[in-house]
Structure 1
Amino acid sequence: MPVSTPVLGIIVLIYLMVIFYLGWLGYKKTKMTEDYMVAGRKIHPYILAVSYGATFISTSAIIGFGGAAGALGMGLLWLAFMNIVVGIFIAFVIFGKSTRRMGLKLNAVTFPELLGKRYQSRFIQGFSGALIGIFMPLYAGIVLIGGARFVEATLNINYDVAVLILTIIVAAYVITGGLIAVMYTDALQGSLMFIGMAFLIVFTYIELGGINAAHTALTAMNGMVPESLAAGGHLGWASMPALGSPIWWTLVSTLVLGVGIGVLAQPQLAVRFMTVKNDKALNRAVLVGGPFILMMTGVAFTVGALSNVYFFDNLGQISVAVAGGNTDLIMPQYINSAMPGIFVVLFMLTLLAAAMSTLSSQFHTMGTAIGHDFYREFIKKGELGQTINVTRISIALTILASVVLAYALPPSIIATATAIFFGLCAAAFLPMYTGALFWKRMTREGAIASLLVGTFASLFWLGFVHAKEAVPLGISQALFGKATLLTGTWTVVDPILVATPLAIITAIVVSLATKPIPVEHLEKCFEREIKN
């Protein structure tokens, strides 16, 4: 039974009141730049874990990747595995501890500043900040799309209005309260997300007659794969695509590896490691973060694939057909069609929480990247000034850019755009970031070369080779008369598999060929004596 409008209004109002109260608490506790940037370095492990998870798993995962699973099937569960192993265990235990220690030792308050101070390079900090400021609005834009699409479908509100409502709410507490407000609200929103996803998987299996019946029915649908998908290697929603087929390359290289590896170099996630006071807090956070990510991704990808069973049983069509070919609409339509009215409201709050938690972190990261890293440290050469005010203005500008993209981007873009940004970060930042933490022989020149090669190799591959982006962009066609410069399998190989290895090789070769960073500076970075 549908929930009445007054009841729905009261539920949403209470939720927003709690969000604004937490944002106000963050504002009250923000007294210094360090508070605004890294939450005073004293965040509780639970808040860290849920904030990290809620930032990582947004509407792009639930709506975008859930919809992708509706089209491509259960093979996407490999991404859930990568998210837990790489995104939580390796990220927290290996990268997180070293990031926290080095960030504290160098008094770094942003991800680009950590890299810049480690390599004694304002260029690295400024270029990294500019890269984040220019390309993260793409990621923020698709998160806005995910949240707004569900609000549109659930409340019958115009999509453009839904985008503006989401943006205004998030902007209000991010601009004023900084990272403390972001992480406090993330903790609440992440808790709501966990509850919502638990209900979603339970209701789905009840609706489809139980776990065994649901998966048996999905396997039995293998013969219903449309010819267009079958020609690309689709073997059914309960199976992996044919090895080496175009759909296999898209699933494995773009979605599983692009996002699964790219998570390690996400600026908005790495900065969270610098918000706790000791390594023990990071160890405790793993125990919360692992189950949280499993519930978020595992449920979204499973339900997305199983939506085919529900739609076929009730409408005689597969999920992609019901959504009119727009995979971003599969999850909203499934939830609004299959779930009880009260759950639809709960899940709307879940998705609002997912969108708002990720958006708040993105807006904060983009603002600090432009205001602190690019403007203050690179343009003004570290000159002291109104850093927080400049950062707030920068947040406002990047929010505007994100909203414009949310209006302009085409259908079925959420999963693809997420993978593009994650892959770009992996190619540009991951070799340099890994070297900063674990390889003392990595030099300033090696880091700069790696940053530039990774960035431009990734962008070149996107613009001239990877067909999914190169063809609609039309740059290669305009310049060379070819839709893509290469043909065959190369056109479905994701940039992360080309640009990241090139950046790694560049980092190693250039570092070995250039003068090492002074031992005195390395001692400061690594907190122990370095022998020649």
Structure 2
Amino acid sequence: MDKQLLYSMLVVYLGITVLLGYLGYRHTKSAKDYMIAGGNVHPVLMALAYGSTFISTSAIVGFGGAAGVYGMSLLWLTAFNIFIGVFVAFVFFGVRTRQIAHQLQVKTFPEFLGARFDSLFIRRFSAGMISLTMPLYAAAVMIGGARYMEEALNMSYTLALTIFALIVLAYVFFGGLRGVIYTDAMQGLIMFAGMAALIVLTYSLLGGVTPAHSKLEALKQLVPAGLAAKGHLGWTAMPAFGSEIWWFVISTLILGVGIGVLAQPQLAVRFMTVASSQDIYKGLSIGALFILFMTGVAFTVGALSNVYFMEHGGTLALAATAVGGAVPNVDKIIPLFITQAMPEWLKYLFLFTLLSAAMSTLSGQFHIISTSISYDLNPKQARSDKKTLLLARLGTLFGFVLTIALALKLPFGVIAVATALFFGLCTSAFLPMYTAALYWPKVTPAGAIASMVIASAIYLCLVLFVHEKEATIFGICFKLFGVNTLALAPWTYIDPLVVTLPISALVLVTASLLTQPVPQTVTEGR
């Protein structure tokens, strides 16, 4: 290990991060500065902040590792991320969100929903749900960064997790969203450079683009029997239609995250930070290019890692993580590939790439947790900016502690699952009402409340008692009934989102139509 190179890069990285965090702190004088960065962020900074918040270690390590198991079928998630997560999100959701937020004079996603429906319950319920469930997603992101530090720097997982968390906490605690956006933009550039170097060196290592993909195609004869029985057809093909793996890849990974991005509170608030709707259009191409490069590289490298491990160790990627009889861990595929296959300088550059990815996402997550707790759960119009900032920073500490506890408790291979779970819950609870808030004047508060509450309750029940991956992780079903799931296939592996999103939309429309206000003329006629 070239410690001098590592420490030099670390000093430069932390120096820039501290400087940007300090600039954010200097310019954070009011609640508006802390919540939406003053509402005058440059469109390029907004697009980079959006992309770097969206793409985290969860995408690079967790989903990259999943590509090592399931192959390049995950590139469909890249397509969804670009079309839905950037184009649809910016053009159809971002512009309207910024316009309505400006009209309503709101600063957070829960406040936006509460003000649009004139419902304090909606604001508090959404803020409470975000505060309690966002740490699960944050823990997945933190695990991804800590696992790479553990592998690259040969340190304990607990120590890596602690260092990682303290760095993030420091600049989010003081800088608010302005500091977050400054550092997000810098980290986005580092992420781009790191992923560019990774894809070039990976193809060079494997003999070029065409040879690398030909070698990966040839590995289909080595698909483990257990995976083949569940529909795995090789790392360059889609899983067998309707099989267990097909449902996991399509419903959980691709649909769950690809659509779920539209209802992410930490991303929606980014649209409130720019001065005009035109600024959102200006950031569109940058956001699309960033997402294409980040996810496309991660999923391609994850799949191709099988070629490297087979050529250099005679084993597939997942099996390579089970050294010394250890339990295979999909979350260690990308870290192991980087540390074994790449030159020393790229190991460190990729360390800062992952550090940047994790910090940019975690900062947005902790920020939305802090504002939900301090500003939305107990809104007071007369509260001073000074008190709001104090409570927001205490909210950050709450999110930090809960995230660390989950990161220490969650089992191996959980990054992609935990991320998809949070995305699915937000999609079920928020997406129909959020869409209606933007485009359907006839939606009523009663319809929005019914949709949000019923969808949340059904989703959580399915996660805890039906969908086997999550039900096994939480263990509540086993403790109560002695089995991991109460359902039979295929419902044990069809993602809950497939059930709850249509129910949420149906409840929203039905309840809104049934609770339409009585026209004034009819009332007078009576």
TM-score (normalizing by structure 1): 0.95
Preserved CA contact (<8 Å) 2:417 2:470: no
Question: 1:478: how far off?
Answer: 4.0
Q: How does 1:340-359 map to 2 (within 5 A)?
A: 340-359=343-362
Question: 1:79: how far off?
Answer: 0.3
How far apart in 2 are the matches of 1:110 and 1:478?
38
Q: For the structure 1 residues 517 and 233, does the alpha-carbon distance in structure 2 shift closer, same or farther, using more than 3 Å as the test?
A: farther
How far apart in 2 are the matches of 1:518 and 1:403?
53
Partner residue in 2 for 1:440: 441
Aligned-partner residue type, residue 350 of structure 1 = T
Partner residue in 2 for 1:484: 485
Partner residue in 1 for 2:508: 507
Partner residue in 1 for 2:41: 43
How far apart in 2 are the matches of 1:517 and 1:16?
60
Preserved CA contact (<8 Å) 2:187 2:353: yes
How far apart in 1 are the matches of 2:283 and 2:458?
35
Aligned-partner residue type, residue 486 of structure 2 = L
Q: How does 1:358-437 map to 2 (within 5 A)?
A: 358-374=361-377, 376-377=378-379, 382-385=381-384, 386-437=387-438
Partner residue in 1 for 2:73: 75
Question: 1:469: how far off?
Answer: 1.4
Partner residue in 2 for 1:108: 106
Preserved CA contact (<8 Å) 1:443 1:517: no
Preserved CA contact (<8 Å) 1:442 1:516: no
Cα distance per residue 1:8-63 (max 9 Å; x no partner)? 11111110010000000001111111011000111111111110000000000000
Aligned-partner residue type, residue 80 of structure 1 = T
Partner residue in 2 for 1:204: 202
Partner residue in 2 for 1:524: none
Question: 1:482: how far off?
Answer: 4.5
Q: For the structure 1 residues 267 and 518, does the alpha-carbon distance in structure 2 shift closer, same or farther, using more than 3 Å as the test?
A: farther
Aligned-partner residue type, residue 102 of structure 1 = I
Q: For the structure 1 residues 152 and 485, does the alpha-carbon distance in structure 2 shift closer, same or farther, using more than 3 Å as the test?
A: same
Residue-pair matches, total:
513
How far apart in 1 are the matches of 2:142 and 2:60?
13
Preserved CA contact (<8 Å) 2:442 2:516: no
Preserved CA contact (<8 Å) 1:441 1:516: no
Equivalent residue in structure 1 for 2:8, among 4, 7, 10: 10
How far apart in 1 are the matches of 2:480 and 2:26?
54
Question: 1:383: how far off?
Answer: 4.8
Q: How does 1:56-455 map to 2 (within 5 A)?
A: 56-324=54-322, 325-374=328-377, 376-377=378-379, 382-385=381-384, 386-455=387-456
Cα distance per residue 1:254-274 (max 9 Å; x no partner)? 000000010000000000000
How far apart in 1 are the matches of 2:201 and 2:500?
42
Question: 1:480: how far off?
Answer: 4.4
How far apart in 2 are the matches of 1:516 and 1:151?
57
How far apart in 2 are the matches of 1:277 and 1:148?
37
How far apart in 1 are the matches of 2:474 and 2:182?
40
Preserved CA contact (<8 Å) 2:462 2:496: yes
How far apart in 2 are the matches of 1:194 and 1:5?
24
Partner residue in 2 for 1:525: none
Partner residue in 1 for 2:471: 470
How far apart in 1 are the matches of 2:518 and 2:465?
37
Question: 1:517: how far off?
Answer: 10
Preserved CA contact (<8 Å) 1:67 1:328: yes
How far apart in 1 are the matches of 2:476 and 2:363?
33
Question: 1:428: how far off?
Answer: 0.6
Q: SS at the partner of 2:492?
A: helix
Deviates more, 1:269-278 or 1:462-471: 462-471
Q: SS at the partner of 1:109?
A: coil
Aligned-partner residue type, residue 141 of structure 2 = V
Partner residue in 2 for 1:522: none
Question: 1:382: how far off?
Answer: 4.4
Preserved CA contact (<8 Å) 1:441 1:517: no
Aligned-partner residue type, residue 338 of structure 1 = A
How far apart in 1 are the matches of 2:477 and 2:80?
33
Question: 1:198: how far off?
Answer: 0.6
How far apart in 1 are the matches of 2:343 and 2:89?
38
Preserved CA contact (<8 Å) 2:411 2:473: no
Preserved CA contact (<8 Å) 1:428 1:454: yes
Partner residue in 2 for 1:30: 28
Question: 1:158: how far off?
Answer: 1.5
Deviates more, 1:82-91 or 1:507-516: 507-516
Question: 1:162: how far off?
Answer: 1.1
Question: 1:472: how far off?
Answer: 3.8
Extract unaligned runs of 5+ from structure 2.
323-327, 521-526
Question: 1:388: how far off?
Answer: 1.3
Q: Percent identity?
A: 51
How far apart in 2 are the matches of 1:175 and 1:516?
44
Alignment root-mean-square deviation, CA? 1.3
Q: SS at the partner of 2:129?
A: helix
How far apart in 1 are the matches of 2:359 and 2:213?
33
Question: 1:464: how far off?
Answer: 1.2
Q: SS at the partner of 2:232?
A: coil
Preserved CA contact (<8 Å) 1:453 1:503: yes
